[in-house]
């Protein structure tokens, strides 16, 4: 009994003080730490891949009139870094920021707005202007299809189906 208590006393005495003087001294996070996600709005094209990947559904997308709004609800973030993993533009990265306590939840909400392109036939959403400009810039070189041929980038899926069939039909007609 007494030996056990002595051993315990030695363990306690040797341990000494182990707590940090945080918050008066900074707590340094390790490299590769998953802190608050940070969005580089200049790189982001608003494609929404992060929104689809996020397991906690933190990223809400609303398309209204000519604008896409992406709302990052970082108060719900689970710091899994899936957004960073899927982002094709490397526009979102997890920072080392962890001191997120606030008395206003708005401090943890980030909004990004993008111009939308709507289908020139029916008005359905096609994508953001940035996405379409990116595709228009890359497509000719990558596929060998000339710039004036890629008018379909301004159409929604359903109108593309109709337009492509009509074009094909019209091409046939003079040969009859």
Partner 1 sequence: MSVVQDIIKQMSLGAPGLLQEIEERAPQQLYATVAPEQVVATAKYVVNQLGGRFLITAGTDDREPRGDFCVSHIFSLDEEHIFLTLQIRLEPQDPQIQSITGIVPGASWAEREMQDLLGIRVVGLDDSRRLVLPDDWPEDLHPLRRDVPHDIRPEPVTGAEPQRREPPEGATVVAIGPFFPVLEEPAYFRLFVDGETIVGSDYRGFYNHRGIEKLGDSALTYKQVPFIAERICGICGFIHSSCYCEAVEIAIGIPAPPRAKYIRSIMLELERIHSHILWLGIAAHIVGFETAFMQSWRMREPLMWLCERISGNRKTYGMNQVGGVRRDLPTDIHPDILNVLDTVEKEWSELYSAIQDDTTLLMRLADVGPITPDYARAMCVAGPTVRGSGLPRDARVDHPYAAYADLPVNVITFDSCDVLARTLVRIEETLNSIKQIRVALQDMPDGDIMAEIEEIPAGREGICTVEAPRGEAIHYVLTGSNNQLARWRVRAPTYCNLQAVPGMLQDQNIADVPIAIGSLDPCFSCTERMEVVDCKTGSVRAYSHEEMINMCRLQDGLSD
Partner 2 sequence: MNVLYLDLNRCIYCRACEVACEREHGGVSRIFVTLLDWTEPVPVACRHCEKHPCVEACPVDAIEVTDEGAVIIHTNKCISCGLCVIACPFGVIELDKAGKIADKCDLCAHRLADGRQPACVLTCPTRCIQYGEFEEIMARARAKPGLTLVSAVGETGTVVTMPDRPAGAVQKATSGSD
- Which of 42, 65, 101, 148 touches partner 1 (CB under 8 A)? 101
Q: Which is nearer to partner 1, 80 or 153 (CB)?
A: 80
Pairing mode of beta strands 67-73, 109-118: antiparallel
| Phi, psi torsion values for 50, nearest 5 degrees | -65, -40
DSSP annotation string for 8-51? HHHHHHHH------TTTS--PPPTT----EEE-TTT-----HHH
Least distance CB 152 / partner 2 (angstroms)? 5
Contacted by 3, from partner 1, partner 2, none: CB < 5 to 8 Å by type = partner 1
Binding to partner 2 by residue 4, rule CB under 8 A?
no
Report in angstroms how near the CB of residue 94 gets to partner 1 at its nearest: 7
CB closer to partner 2, 8 vs 138: 138
20 lies in the site for partner 2, by CB under 8 A: no
Binder of residue 18, out of partner 2, partner 1, none (CB less than 5 to 8 A by kind): partner 1
Smallest distance from the beta carbon of 47 to partner 1, in angstroms? Answer: 17
- Identify what 7 binds: partner 1, partner 2, none; CB under 5 to 8 Å per kind: partner 1
Task: Compute the distance between CA of residue 37 and CA of residue 71 in angstroms, rounded to an integer.
Answer: 13
CB of 17 to partner 2, least distance (A): 48
How is 100-161 classified by DSSP, letter by letter? ---S-GGGGEEEEEEEEEE-TTT--EEEEHHHHHHHHHHHHHHH---GGG-GGGGS-HHHHH
**Residues 48-77 contacting partner 1, CB under 8 A:** 53-57, 73, 76
Shortest Å distance, C-beta 133 to partner 2: 11
Q: Any contact of residue 115 with partner 2 (CB under 8 A)?
A: no
Distance set, CA 44 to CA 48, 66, 89, 102, 124 (Å): 9, 17, 6, 27, 22
């Amino acid at each position: 009994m007494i030996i056990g208590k002595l051993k315990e006393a030695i363990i306690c005495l040797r341990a000494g003080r182990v707590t940090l003087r945080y918050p008066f001294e900074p707590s340094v996070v390790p490299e590769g730490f998953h802190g608050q996600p940070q969005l580089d709005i200049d790189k982001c094209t608003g494609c929404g891949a992060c929104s689809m990947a996020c397991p906690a559904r933190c990223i809400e997308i609303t398309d209204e009139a000519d604008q896409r709004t992406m709302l990052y609800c970082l108060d719900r973030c689970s710091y899994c870094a899936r957004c960073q993993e899927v982002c094709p533009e490397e526009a979102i990265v997890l920072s080392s920021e962890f001191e997120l306590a606030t008395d206003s939840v708005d401090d943890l909400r980030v909004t990004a707005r993008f111009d939308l392109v709507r289908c020139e036939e029916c008005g359905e959403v096609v994508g953001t202007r940035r996405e379409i400009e990116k595709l228009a810039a890359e497509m000719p070189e990558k596929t060998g299809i000339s710039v004036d041929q890629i008018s379909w980038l301004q159409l929604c899926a359903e109108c593309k189906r109709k337009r492509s069939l009509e074009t094909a039909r019209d091409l046939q007609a003079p040969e009859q």
